[in-house]
Chains A and B, each alone.
Chain A
Amino acid sequence: MILSFDIIILVFLVVAAIISLSVKDLLSASMIYGIYGFLICLLWAEMGAVDVAFTEAAVGAGVSALFLIATVFNTQRNSSD
């Protein structure tokens, strides 16, 4: 583990989580959720859990963000609150 690398990833992770929750445009929120998944994948790879990181890269950063985007296109694009 490299501490400074960890801290950078964790800071970005928290920032990405907060932004994806607070953005009004749901399409942007889905994209930022993909970034969040990719950062978690980096964190896992860095902790040595390469298999989990691989799954997260494929599922969290790739496919689930796509599912969200597909859903956003079939619903109202902006959040009402």
Chain B
Amino acid sequence: MVTKLTATIAVLFTGGLLLYGVSDFPGFGDPHSPANAGVEGGGPSISQYFIEESYGDTKVPNLVTSVLADYRGYDTLFETVVIFAAGMAIFAILRVLEPGQPRPDELHESTRYSDGDHTRIIVGTTCRIIVPLAQLFALYVVAHGHHSPGGGFQGGVILGASFIMLAVAHDLPAALRRFPEKNYLGLACVGVLVYTAFGVACQLLDRNFLDYGVLEKVLFTDGPEMARSHSMLGVEIGVAFTVAAIMFAIYANLSSRGRLHGGL
């Protein structure tokens, strides 16, 4: 009782402080706020630069993508590493490696929902229709992230979710047969390595890490702008690999207590 009262008071106090802090914020979309107009005597603000110059710099219409994957490439690289580390932590904590476990090619879908279970037919058929469409949509989101909302992270989550949907609608072995453990762990590593490779390639050509403009010599594009655009697509694909693999890895380990059979 006393604990609950203390917690309530603490929550109300912190919430009150947060609400009090919000009152100091500039208004929504205020053009004169420091973030939009810059500070006095400090030159133009950084957001003004991105809005006016990012298309000329990178030829990418969606400036959120160009900021995330190019101007703030380090942030996105380490976000990908964070996702990777989270997946590895789940693997290290939950995964139970028992001798004599079935190998992926020995897994077979359980027969508990086969003939005679009519409710399962609806779920299974819906899943069979939706999963390929979801995977196509995921690829579209990754490839079209330059021009519309989306990018590697969102596309990767949708791709991972399509395998999770398969595991929910059938069972975990059905999904693991199509995306075995060896493959998803490898794909997670490959994603981070693809991203890093783009950075290191720039260093090998005597520029800074993740300074994509110099890659025009390697990618044979006309001008550094298109090189930046194509490199962004490359790193987004790396992000999508890692995110898709880790999402499925987390689900597979959580739902089967790390044994990778049974599942929900």
Contact = CB atoms under 8 A, between A and B. Distances in A.
Contacts of B168: 66
A15 interface: no
Given A1-B28, A69-B264, 4 more contacts: A47-B28, A55-B154, A58-B157, A73-B264
Given A1-B28, A70-B264, A62 B154 contact: no
B149 A54 contact: yes
16 contacts: A47-B28, A51-B65, A54-B141, A55-B154, A55-B157, A58-B154, A58-B157, A62-B157, A62-B161, A63-B157, A63-B247, A63-B251, A67-B254, A70-B251, A70-B264, A71-B254
B250 A67 contact: yes
A27 B254 CA distance: 15
B161 A58 contact: yes
Interface in B217-263: 247, 250-251, 254-255, 257
B127 interface: no
A40 B211 CA distance: 35
A79 interface: no
Nearest to A49: B64
Contacts of A55: 153-154, 157
Nearest to B94: A74
Interface of A: 1, 47, 50-51, 53-55, 58-59, 62-63, 66-67, 69-71, 73-74
Contact of B151 (A51, A67, A73, A74): A51
Interface of B: 28, 62, 64-65, 141, 149-151, 153-154, 157-158, 160-161, 164, 168, 247, 250-251, 254-255, 257, 264
Nearest to A58: B157
Contacts of A70: 251, 254-255, 264
Nearest to B250: A67
Contacts of B150: 51, 54
Contacts of A59: 157
Contacts of B62: 51
B43 to A, nearest CB: 26
Contacts of B257: 74
A74 B258 CA distance: 11
A67 B64 contact: no
B209 to A, nearest CB: 24
A74 B256 CA distance: 8
A54 B153 CA distance: 10
Identify the 4 closest CB pairs spanning chains A and B, nearest first. Answer: A70-B255, A58-B157, A50-B149, A70-B254
A26 to B, nearest CB: 14
Contacts of B154: 51, 54-55, 58
Given A67-B250, A70-B251, A70-B264, A58 B28 contact: no
A63 B255 contact: no
Contacts of B250: 67
A66 B251 contact: yes
Given A47-B28, A54-B150, A74-B254, A63 B264 contact: no
A73 B157 contact: no
Nearest to B68: A51
